[in-house]
């Protein structure tokens, strides 16, 4: 169950440049907006301001302003995993949010402002069947953040929309939260469209296999590298960034690194600081350890753990430099798993790393 965790869409791909993906097609974006995710295959069209950065990680579809201003909107489908006398709808609209607040780590001071008011979510004629709104603020490390979450149901499916921004002054009379709510987020809500979901399964993509049965899931000219995954992994997306998920939820991703032009060590410290701002203390197992990845010219390994919502996660990352001598590029590979699942995929991850081929 996703609960409050839908706001943490950047954890597994820390340091990545994220790109737009779509589960369908069509749906012309309104003026000044871009398609974050959508199509008849998933049953909705989610738009965000055209100048924002799209960040689709797993089931959480998101867009944010920048790495400096992390104001964001996200949308996630919630698959019912519990039943109270068979009445999940009653639980979702009466207890779900309350249970979500219990997931905040110690040290967060949460204050609920709006508690389950009726709301409208979506374009007229294509809106959710039922929606309720919650707003709240939390204070952490001397900073205040504002959130709005809208829980909704369309047909027999459940969703959560989240808006997050700083609850601190942007202008003399408005916080960042209030300013972007009026200027950017209300149009996101008003232009959202639910459409009839196709019942037919999407056509299965047949990826080329190598001699070991690993699937080639990238176009080297588009991504900058060839990337192979085990047949048991499911491709999340494979354009500028590649991401694949194992049946137990473990994830491996790779993309061109952002914020380059510095040393490996400084880049790692910068990304570690960003992650700690979200999850708290990161326990480092190794850092700046020379390693090899495919045909990259230079690579360094980093391994660390962190805990969130009572679950411990284990991460292995490789930062590397590849490409032409006169125009090198930085890349980052990230393997993230729950601690209990980490070792079960280590051989597969080692194979993935050895098979990478940069252009």
Domain segments of the chain as ranges: 3-194, 215-358
Q: Which range among 158-172, 199-213, 296-310 shows the weakest confidence by mean pLDDT?
A: 199-213
pLDDT given at position 284:
96
Nearest CA to 359 out of 253, 220, 256 is that of 220
Q: pLDDT exceeding 70 applies to what percent of the chain?
A: 81
What phi, psi does 350 have (nearest 5°)?
A: -60, -40
pLDDT tens column, 7-34:
333 333 333 333 334 454 445 789 999 9
pLDDT given at position 230:
96
Q: Assess contact for 305 and 323: CB atoms under 8 A.
A: no
Residues 6+ apart with CB under 8 A from 345: 246, 250, 252, 335, 337
| Domains 3-194 and 215-358 agree in fold | yes
pLDDT given at position 114:
92
CATH H superfamily, domain 215-358? Mog1/PsbP, alpha/beta/alpha sandwich (3.40.1000.10)
pLDDT given at position 307:
85
Its sign, for the CA torsion 210, 252, 349, 291, is positive
**Over residues 317-341, mean pLDDT:** 86
How many other C-beta atoms lie within 10 A of the C-beta of residue 274?
Answer: 15
Cα 182 to Cα 9: distance, rounded to the nearest angstrom: 23
State the Cα angle at 131 between 1 and 123, rounded to 5°: 115
Q: What is the mean pLDDT of the chain?
A: 82
Helix (H, G, I), strand (E, B) or coil at 169: strand
pLDDT tens column, 244-264:
889 998 989 888 776 556 788
Centroid of chain to Cα 31: 25
Domain 3-194, what architecture? 3-Layer(aba) Sandwich (3.40)
């Amino acid at each position: 169950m996703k609960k409050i965790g839908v706001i943490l869409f950047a954890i597994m791909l820390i340091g990545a440049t994220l790109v737009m993906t779509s589960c369908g097609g069509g749906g012309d974006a309104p003026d000044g907006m871009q398609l974050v995710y959508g199509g008849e295959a998933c049953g909705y069209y989610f738009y965000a301001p055209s100048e924002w950065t799209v960040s689709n990680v797993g089931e959480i579809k998101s867009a944010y302003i920048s790495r400096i201003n992390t104001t964001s909107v996200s949308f996630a489908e919630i698959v019912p995993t519990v039943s109270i006398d068979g009445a999940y709808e009653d639980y979702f609209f009466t207890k779900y949010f309350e249970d979500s607040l219990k997931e905040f780590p110690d040290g967060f001071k949460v204050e609920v402002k709006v508690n389950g008011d009726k709301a409208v979510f979506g374009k007229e004629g294509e809106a959710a069947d039922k929606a309720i709104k919650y707003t709240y603020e939390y204070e952490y490390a001397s900073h205040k953040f504002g959130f709005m979450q809208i829980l909704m149901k369309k047909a027999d499916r459940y969703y959560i929309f989240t808006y997050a921004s700083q609850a601190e002054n942007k202008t003399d009379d408005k916080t960042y939260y209030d300013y972007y709510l009026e200027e950017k987020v209300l149009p996101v809500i008003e232009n959202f469209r639910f459409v009839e979901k196709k019942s037919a399964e999407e056509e299965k993509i047949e990826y080329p296999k190598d001699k070991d049965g690993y699937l080639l899931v990238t176009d080297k000219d588009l991504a900058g590298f060839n990337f192979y995954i085990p047949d048991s992994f499911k491709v999340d997306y494979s354009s500028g960034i590649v991401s694949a998920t194992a049946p137990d939820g473990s994830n491996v991703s790779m993309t061109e690194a952002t914020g380059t032009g510095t040393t490996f060590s400084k880049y790692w410290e910068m990304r570690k600081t960003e992650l700690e701002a979200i999850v708290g203390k990161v326990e480092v197992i190794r850092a700046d350890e020379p390693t090899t990845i495919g045909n990259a010219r230079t690579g360094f390994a980093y391994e660390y753990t962190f805990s969130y919502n009572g679950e411990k996660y284990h991460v292995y990352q490789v930062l590397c430099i590849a490409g032409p001598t006169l125009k090198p590029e930085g890349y980052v590979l990230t393997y993230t798993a729950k601690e209990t699942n980490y070792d079960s995929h280590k051989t597969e991850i080692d194979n993935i790393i050895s098979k990478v081929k940069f252009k």
